[in-house]
Amino acid sequence: MSDTSPILELRNVDAAYGKVKSLHGISIRVAPGEVVALIGANGAGKSTTLRAISGLLAPTAGDIQFEGRSIAGRRPDLIVRGGIAHCPEERHVWPDLTVQENLHLGAYLCRDKGEVAKREEMVLQRFPRLRERAKQAAGTLSGGEQQMLAIGRALMSAPKLLLLDEPSLGLSPVITMEVLSVIRDLRDQGITIVLVEQNVHNALSVASRAYVLSTGRVVAEDSGAALLNNAEVLRAYLSG
């Protein structure tokens, strides 16, 4: 990937919750169209890295560049407008809003109603079950359906870069396979994806490269296949 300029680049990013520093000089490069996984045990800083990228948490040091421009510390709405969608851990759909309202709010920044309808149709074609449940409160959906909704909502902003935080968390193996196949489809469509996963085998089945994080630092980086073969790395840093 070194011959193309990255769509996303983190340079020595530090971040902290209050006084507790949880990222120590994270550096990551993602090329356009790539699926990159962040793997590591609980508390390694994977989710925090995504939060820094999407603006939920301003980095205390270092820089984050998206398409060649610094986005470090910008407001989340401006980052969404720039083309980054963050699908957070535990889905965070709005439980009392309908499925359709959840989707429409995903395109909150798009004022063109025709465009919103077009995106909605694309999402509903990808996730037919959401169409059946359009008028239902999102809180009544099953875990798998909520995950589909969360991904669908993120896609409603027509992102160039999609941040997926543990999309298979708490899902049955069958549904997990479905989620992974959706990720492959999105990759084939040209959407760049940063995927956080606890399950290494799942992550590396869709990602071309992975960064291994441990206690807020990048401790290894390699192609998926190489990492899978590197039993030492897996044993040292991963719980899965």
Interface residues with other proteins (CB under 8 A)?
Answer: 54-56, 75-77, 80-81, 85-88, 92-97, 101, 104-106, 108-109, 153-154, 157
Pick 80 or 161: Cβ nearer other proteins: 80
Shortest reach from residue 238's CB to other proteins, in Å? 27
Which residue carries 């510390």 as its tokens?
73
Q: Are 213 and 219 in contact (CB under 8 A)?
A: yes
Count helices and strands in the chain by DSSP H and E runs: 10, 10
Cβ atoms within 10 A of the Cβ of 47, count?
A: 20
Q: Is the backbone of residue 194 left (phi > 0), alpha (psi -120 to 50) or beta?
A: beta
Shortest reach from residue 69's CB to other proteins, in Å? 18
Shortest reach from residue 204's CB to other proteins, in Å? 26
Shortest reach from residue 19's CB to other proteins, in Å? 17
Pick 75 or 184: Cβ nearer other proteins: 75
In whole angstroms, give the CA distance from residue 206 to residue 201.
9
- The single-letter DSSP state of residue 140 is G
Q: Are 66 and 8 in contact (CB under 8 A)?
A: yes
Shortest reach from residue 148's CB to other proteins, in Å? 15
Size (the chain), residues: 240
Pick 87 or 227: Cβ nearer other proteins: 87
Helix (H, G, I), strand (E, B) or coil at 68: coil
Paired tokens of 206? 């869709």
> Backbone phi, then psi, for 218, in 5-degree steps?
-80, 120
Pick 80 or 171: Cβ nearer other proteins: 80
DSSP run (H or E) holding 63: strand 61-66
Shortest reach from residue 32's CB to other proteins, in Å? 22
Pick 95 or 240: Cβ nearer other proteins: 95
Pick 14 or 101: Cβ nearer other proteins: 101
